[in-house]
Amino acid sequence: MILGVSGPYGAGKGEVVAYLEARSFYAFSLSDVIRDELRARGESETRERMIELGTALRAEHGPAALAKRLIAKLEPDRNYVIDSIRHPAEVEALRTHARGFRLIWVDADPALRIERLRSRGRPGDPETLPKLLEQEGRERSGGGAAAQQLDAVAALADFRVRNEGALAALHAEIQRVLGACQGFERPSWDEYFLDVAQMVASRSNCVKRHVGAVIARDKRIISTGYNGTPRGTRNCNEGGCPRCNGFAESGTRLDECLCSHGEENAIVQAAYHGVAVRGGTIYTTFFPCLFCTKLIINAGILEVVYDAAYALDTRAESLLHEANVVVRRVERERDR
């Protein structure tokens, strides 16, 4: 769950962030990106300089520049709350690259907000209502494509929260938002096991291609394998396989290849550890070759689910069908 927070001065955005942070959300601010840049330049932080530099960064690197720098820091296994969103391009970038992003617009009557600003006494805050409205006027519609555009941000909000009463009322509103955001998507079992197979492939020591395979039964992983030279021998990336290190043309010099395939290793590793694969499903990042197909059939594996096809061996495919092994390709997000 990734929640963005935006709104005018004194609306209560900080209270929303604090409430979510206390509930295990990691808090980030696009303003921190500007602060980091100011420190790198050896400049002091003032509100006017923050606004100027933010506009300059958007003009130089694109209107979503601040959001893109922050997106790179987000981990997929955490909830986040992101403050200081002030441009519609930042909202669009977060929606595109941060799965599950929702924007909360927090607002309150200007007369109430100026009282809050006076109470907190932060340097740079407007001290009178006319000054508040004057500053907000510049930030609401902006002075160009790279300037702040709060009105455009407000129009993109998924949730609108009025903060004009007690804190308990604000907290109740945030709880309502949290309840509406709990319908997040989970990967299917096929996607899950193929993602694991992709990670398994990263352990491959083959210099030509990295392939990973996972054998699952009853939605439980029972074996994994990746391609590379046999146990106890020199790794392919250390010169262990003459064919791969010679970058032989596809389909040639196969008698020189010392690397075992990912599917082969997944089956062999199960045998090595005394784990039965009969009745299981093998998930592989590439369609299996003819040799691995014969192993799959004789091991009693009932289904092959693969990610990508390369030089698809029609003999392997027809043999799997003849042996009544189910073959499925799962369309990945990158294929869409």
Residues 209 and 227: beta-carbon distance below 8 Å? yes
Cα separation, 204 vs 88, in Å, equals 43
Per-residue pLDDT tens for 80-125? 999 989 889 999 999 988 878 999 999 998 888 888 888 887 777 7
Q: Is the pLDDT of residue 336 over 50?
A: no
Question: 263, 264, 322, 331: which one is catalytic?
Answer: 263
Strand partners, 101: 2
Supply the DSSP symbol for 64: T
Q: Is the pLDDT of residue 242 over 70?
A: yes
**37 — pLDDT class (breaks 50, 70, 90):** confident
Q: What is the mean pLDDT of residues 267-296?
A: 95
- Smallest CA-to-CA distance from 190 within 304, 311, 313 is with 304
Supply the DSSP symbol for 297: H
**24 — pLDDT class (breaks 50, 70, 90):** very high
Q: Is the pLDDT of residue 310 over 80?
A: no
Q: What is the mean pLDDT of residues 199-210?
A: 93
Residue 158: helix, strand or coil by DSSP? Answer: coil
Lowest mean pLDDT, pick from 64-73, 250-259, 307-316 = 307-316
115 is catalytic: no
Q: What is the mean pLDDT of residues 64-87?
A: 88
Percent helix, percent strand, percent coil in the chain, to nearest 5: 45, 15, 40
Q: What is the mean pLDDT of residues 282-295?
A: 95
